[in-house]
Chain A
Amino acid sequence: DAGVIQSPRHEVTEMGQEVTLRCKPISGHDYLFWYRQTMMRGLELLIYFNNNVPIDDSGMPEDRFSAKMPNASFSTLKIQPSEPRDSAVYFCASRRTGGANEKLFFGSGTQLSVL
């Protein structure tokens, strides 16, 4: 299995531009999570989906952030317009329901820099 795949690995953009981060979960996983990692706040859960439906988006910082999951194999996190304080590493993770050894599989992250 290829694992959770995120793209791009690095994104540098200017303030005010739209940014789209992409994630392909592991096939067969029915939960998908978006996390943000910063030095100041550590790892924060932004939103998670179950069977492509957003379940909890209370961690999304503001209306500039939106996430979609149009099908079981693809999700996007969009920031519009981007601001310098959005600079962080964004992780996507997935897992499946059930099983004796449930665990969360993380992608390698997208390093976002907003200038």
Chain B
Amino acid sequence: GNSVTQMEGPVTLSEEAFLTINCTYTATGYPSLFWYVQYPGEGLQLLLKATKADDKGSNKGFEATYRKETTSFHLEKGSVQVSDSAVYFCALSEGAGGTSYGKLTFGQGTILTVHP
């Protein structure tokens, strides 16, 4: 079956540091890949997505590139802010050609804390 593996956290950084959160996946077909963010006390929100190999998703300074050859979708940001403190989830969805049915397989989540 499908699975998603994220780097273990928590991750603690100083403001303006570079962020990388690793994500690798196992899937039988051609999944769409997502990063979701969960702020304290809130539900998950879609941060960015990529639907095919070599696509780069980006939003709010975060980026991730769909690497089919390494089955990875690492999240990066060049300069983090205190407001980026949250839990980040990598996820994939079944379906081909970028179709997302919403049945997501999530990674375990990585807690990010950014200090001033």
Residue numbers of A with Cβ under 8 A of B are 4, 31, 33, 42-43, 45, 48, 56, 91, 93, 95, 102-104, 106-109
Contacts and interface: CB of A to CB of B under 8 A. Distances in A.
Interface of B: 41-46, 49, 89, 100-109
Nearest to B101: A31
Given A42-B108, A42-B109, A43-B109, A91 B43 contact: yes
Mostly helix, strand, loop or mixed at chain B's interface?
Answer: loop
B103 A56 contact: yes
Given A102-B100, A103-B49, A43 B43 contact: no
Given A42-B109, A43-B89, A43-B109, A106 B43 contact: yes
B14 to A, nearest CB: 26
B2 to A, nearest CB: 11
A104 B104 contact: yes
A48 B103 CA distance: 8
25 contacts: A4-B43, A31-B101, A31-B102, A33-B102, A33-B103, A43-B44, A43-B89, A43-B109, A45-B103, A45-B105, A48-B103, A91-B44, A93-B102, A95-B102, A102-B100, A102-B102, A103-B100, A104-B44, A104-B46, A104-B104, A107-B43, A108-B41, A108-B42, A108-B43, A109-B43
A48 B104 CA distance: 11
Quick one: which of B49, B101, B108 has the most chain A CB within 10 A? B101
Given A106-B45, A108-B41, A45 B109 contact: no
Nearest to A111: B41
Contacts of A104: 44, 46, 102, 104
A43 B100 contact: no
B18 to A, nearest CB: 26
